[in-house]
Structure formats: C-alpha cells, structure tokens
Amino acid sequence: MFATLSDRLTSTFRNLRTRGRLSEADIDATIREIRRALLDADVAVPVVRAFTGTVRERALSAEVSGALNPAQQVVKIVQEELVAILGGEQRPLRFAKRPPTVILLAGLQGAGKTTLAGKLGLHLRERGHTPLLVAADLQRPNAVTQLQVVGERAGVPVFAPHPGVQETAAGLVGTPGDPVGVAREGLAWAQERQHDVVIVDTAGRLGVDAEMMQQAADIRDAVDPDEILFVVDAMIGQDAVTTAQAFAEGVGFTGVVLAKLDGDTRGGAALSIASVTGSPVMFASTGEKLTDFEVFHPDRMASRILDMGDVLSLIEQAERAFDAEQAAKMAEKLVGGEDFTLDDFLVQVQGLRQMGSMKKMLGMLPGMAQMRDAIDSFDEREVDRIEAMVRSMTPAERANPKIINGSRRSRIARGSGTTVTDINQLLERFGQAQTMMRQVARGGGVPGMPGMPGFGMGKKSRGRSAPAPAKGKGRGAKSGNPAKRAQQEREAAERASGQPSAPAGSAFGLGGGATPPAAPPGPAAELPPGMERFLRR
C-alpha cells in the first residue's frame, strides 16, 4: 500500500544525501517534496501541515546543523515524526481483571468486521486464550453464517442463537431479531463456559446513520466492553477519517484496526487516523487468509515506509512458523556430522510457506524498494513446484542426490509436471545450501559473510587470507621487496629442514587416504594479528 509513498520519500532522501552541507533552501526543497508525497498518498491536510511544520523546525535546528551527516539526521527526524503520527508506541489489548474481556467490533458494512473477528479470535487462541465469537450482526444477509464459517476455520466457537436475515434463491428471509439481546446472552454464555475473551460482531451500514449509531451504543451499554475496536477499510482514503470521527462522537472507541492494508491504494488513512482521532492503531489486516493479521507497530511501519525494512516482524513470523524442536534436531544432526538432505531441504521450504507470502517477507528486508519490480514478478507457486519436485524423488534420491542421473531427472520432471532444466536448477540450489550447511557445521561461518573465519568474498576478504602467487611467477620466484624476499628465504629454509610438503594433487597436504602427520611441539607458524581468539585450548 505504501509503495508509491515509499518510492517518493526514498528518491527525495537519495538526492539529499548528495549534499555535504544542507542550506535552508535544501531543507525547504526537501520539505516541499515530502508534502507533495504525503498529499498524493491522500493523507489528511491538517496532518500533513503539522508533520511538515515539525520536520522543518527540527531540520533547521542545531541537531542537524551540528551533525556529522546532516542528511542522515534529516532522515532520522522524518522517521521519528512518522512514528509519532502513526501513534507513537504500540498499545496492546487491555484485558479485564475479572474475565471475560469483552471486545466490541464496530464499523461500516464492507469494512471486514466479520472476517477480522475470526482473525482476532485466532490471534488470541494462539496466545493461550479461549475466545468466543458472538454473532450480533443480524441485519446483513448471511452475516451469521459467514461468522460461523470463519469461526470454524479459526478453531473458535461461535454463539449464534438467531440466524438473522438469510439470502436464498427466493429472496431475503428471516427477521433482524434483537442484536442487543444476543450480545447480552453471549456474554452470559461465555461466563458459564469460562471463555476469557468475548468478541462481539456488530452490524454496519453503507453510510453513517442515526439508527446504526444507536444500535451500536445500545450493545455497548449492554455488554460494557473493555475494548471498542473501530474497523476501518484502509482503501477508502480520507473518508475513513471522516467515518472514524463520526463513530468517535456517536459510540466512541479505544482503538483502530486497519483492514485491507494489502491493497494498492495510497494509504493515507493509515497515516491520518491516529492523529485525527487520538486513538491508536492496534492491529492491521494484511490479506484474505486468517493468518494475514498482525499487531500494528508504528516504528516498524515507519521503517517500512522509509525502505528500512522490518526485520523484527520477519523474525517473529519465523519463530511462529518454524518448530523449535525440529530446529534443535536439525542442529544436532549437523553437529553430529550428518549431511543435509533433500528431506531437510523440503522441511525448510515448508517452513517458509507457513510464514506467509514470499513477496511480503522479501518486502520486509531493508532496501527492497529498489527491487520492487522483481519482487512483484516473483511467482508464489515456485514453492509448490519445489515441493512437487522433491516429493517426486525416491527416498534414496533424497538422501543422496548424486545418484540422480539423466534418466532419473527425466522421470522426476514427468512426475512433478516440470522440466529437466527445473530439476537441474533445484539440484544446483540444493548443492549450494548443502555446502553452506557443511561449513556452518564445521564452524567456518556462512559463506560470503564478511569477517567470518574460513571464507572470503571480494577483495577485502582475500586480503585476510594467504596471498595468492603473483601472476606469471612460479613458487620459487623472489620478490623485489626486501622484507618479503627475506620472508620467502626463511620459508624456503624451513621447507628444506625436512618439513613434509603437500603431495601433488592434494589441496590440504594429504594424499588419498593418508593420515596427517603429528603436529610438531610449539606453534607451526605465526598467526596473523587478532587470530588468537579463534584458538580453543
């Protein structure tokens, strides 16, 4: 949703970083670009005016003029002010001292209240609570049935004593009933069966009217909720702010839930609603699945907007998706010297699938705005194809991919509905993953990671390892540098003193099946400075 705003702000700050010192004209030009970006994102005008005014005042102050890097300091100020207009700090749900905790959902029809009731119920159930959904929306056709289906998928019971209005082939049948009575009965039912959270789904309208406000107020008075969450469709722009103000005056609410945050709209409601209403955004619905639901963190959302990534949310998703016991078994297997197999690879791929959309995960990494086109073109079905290819292999092939010859590759391709080229690419990627796992198990670190022992990548890391022989020179060639020539002479003397040299064709000084010679007493060679910390006595 924030892609356009993120691109505009990133471009603005990129131009700002080219200047060593910032003049007042530079800051004014930056503020103008920020103002245009926010207005194009459909952010409320009062919020834009207050935001840009605060940023300009801080950017012209001593905290920027005295900074070593003024451009980075301006970016820091913009991030802090974005966090402020998004609500400041994340506020968790307030639970009642004496259960059950009552949560009332309010909002317009079509905002996604019923689906969000199931998402919130699943979110609470996964955290050890025993929620109950109460179907108090008796006016929208099939609203009760929809809540029952959503509750069943979420594994949360639904209290629905009245069917409400039903849509059939013959037309609408049934009566709206008494939603206030249903809400009151649902609360009593939850108390009898010791549910610690009650989520009441209320009716909405296509627009704000007195009848809807009165009904919501009556339900509020009947159940005395601990939290009233206003569910707003983030795709309706500044109308969301207007509707929120009407609900705040008519019913009141303690928090906001942004639904449909995965849409392609400009996202102005998300940036405006907390500042205009004074109520924090507590949750965000980011997709159609019940698991596409997350706690709203203003600081993390500001980082996403500024293309700084959201690594903390990515880690939390990984912790929920990957089994800790399974990860421990994998670690024991690698430490024990067992090799990484295609079965293990399949387990890792399935864990990635459980984390959700690959596009969303990639979008949480810092700097991914520059690769947005590549991410958007990524085919989510690639994970399914990988799983199909691995499952088309025999147990022996998964355990030892080296036996997969040409005919086996053709058979696997036919069985998985792919091509031999796809099989070749999969085995190549698996080989890279297997090599990395072996190096990690040996304590060598991850290949390509700077500063990790045993591996190098690029010119800097090559400088830490043994120098390569000069191009066009043999092993016995002497350097023109006197110090280096003296070192070469000492090494030649040591080799002549009887120390064994590496047999031809061996990269580690050992022949085929040979046993390494016993290490001589004392250090065999001088260690580079700083490498002593890698020794273990």
Q: Is residue 490 part of a domain?
A: no
User: Based on the domain organization, do 71 and 116 belong to the same domain?
Assistant: no
Q: Is the pTM of this model over 0.85?
A: no
- Helix or strand holding residue 374 (H, E): helix 372-376
What are the tens digits of pLDDT across the range 156-187?
A: 999 999 888 887 777 777 777 889 999 999 99
User: Based on the domain organization, do 348 and 273 belong to the same domain?
Assistant: no
Cα angle, residue 133 at apex, residues 290 and 86 outer, rounded to 5°:
55
pLDDT at 292: 84
Phi, psi of 256 (to 5 degrees): -120, 140
CB atoms within 10 A of CB 107: 26
Q: CA 39, CA 54: separation in Å to the nearest integer?
A: 16
Domain holding 27: CATH number? Answer: 1.20.120.140
What are the tens digits of pLDDT across the range 62-95?
A: 666 666 677 778 888 888 888 888 888 888 899 9
User: Based on the domain organization, do 73 and 125 belong to the same domain?
Assistant: no
Q: Is residue 62 part of a domain?
A: yes
User: Based on the domain organization, do 26 and 43 belong to the same domain?
Assistant: yes
* 312, 286 contact by CB (below 8 A): no
Q: CA 254, CA 282: separation in Å to the nearest integer?
A: 9
Q: Is residue 289 part of a domain?
A: yes
Q: Is residue 536 part of a domain?
A: no
Domain holding 144: CATH number? Answer: 3.40.50.300
Q: Is residue 520 part of a domain?
A: no
Q: Is residue 518 part of a domain?
A: no
Q: Is residue 44 part of a domain?
A: yes
* 430, 423 contact by CB (below 8 A): no
Residues in contact with 373: Cβ distance below 8 Å, sequence separation at least 6, in sequence order: none
User: Based on the domain organization, do 25 and 113 belong to the same domain?
Assistant: no
pLDDT at 185: 93
Q: Is residue 452 part of a domain?
A: no
pLDDT at 58: 86
Positions in the chain whose pLDDT score sits under 50: 444-475, 499-525, 527, 531, 533-537
Residue list, annotated binding site:
107-114, 201-205, 259-262
User: Based on the domain organization, do 225 and 371 belong to the same domain?
Assistant: no
User: Based on the domain organization, do 298 and 347 belong to the same domain?
Assistant: no
User: Based on the domain organization, do 150 and 280 belong to the same domain?
Assistant: yes
pLDDT at 430: 84
Burial of residue 529, with CB atoms counted within 10 A of its CB: 0-12 exposed, 13-18 middle, 19 or more buried: exposed
C-alpha to C-alpha distances, 19 to 13, 15, 72, 258, nearest whole angstrom: 10, 8, 11, 38
User: Based on the domain organization, do 116 and 258 belong to the same domain?
Assistant: yes
User: Helix or strand or coil: residue 259?
Assistant: strand
User: Based on the domain organization, do 227 and 294 belong to the same domain?
Assistant: yes
Q: Which of 386, 419, 441 is the last residue of a domain?
A: 441
Quote the domain boundaries for residue 169: 101-306
3-state helix, strand, coil in the chain (%, to 5): 50, 10, 40
Residues in contact with 26: Cβ distance below 8 Å, sequence separation at least 6, in sequence order: 16, 19
How many distinct structural domains can be found in the chain? 3
Q: CA 528, CA 337: separation in Å to the nearest integer?
A: 29
User: Based on the domain organization, do 122 and 271 belong to the same domain?
Assistant: yes
Q: Which of 398, 416, 441 is the last residue of a domain?
A: 441
Residue list, annotated binding site for GTP:
107-114, 201-205, 259-262
Q: Which of 391, 423, 441 is the last residue of a domain?
A: 441
User: Based on the domain organization, do 193 and 292 belong to the same domain?
Assistant: yes
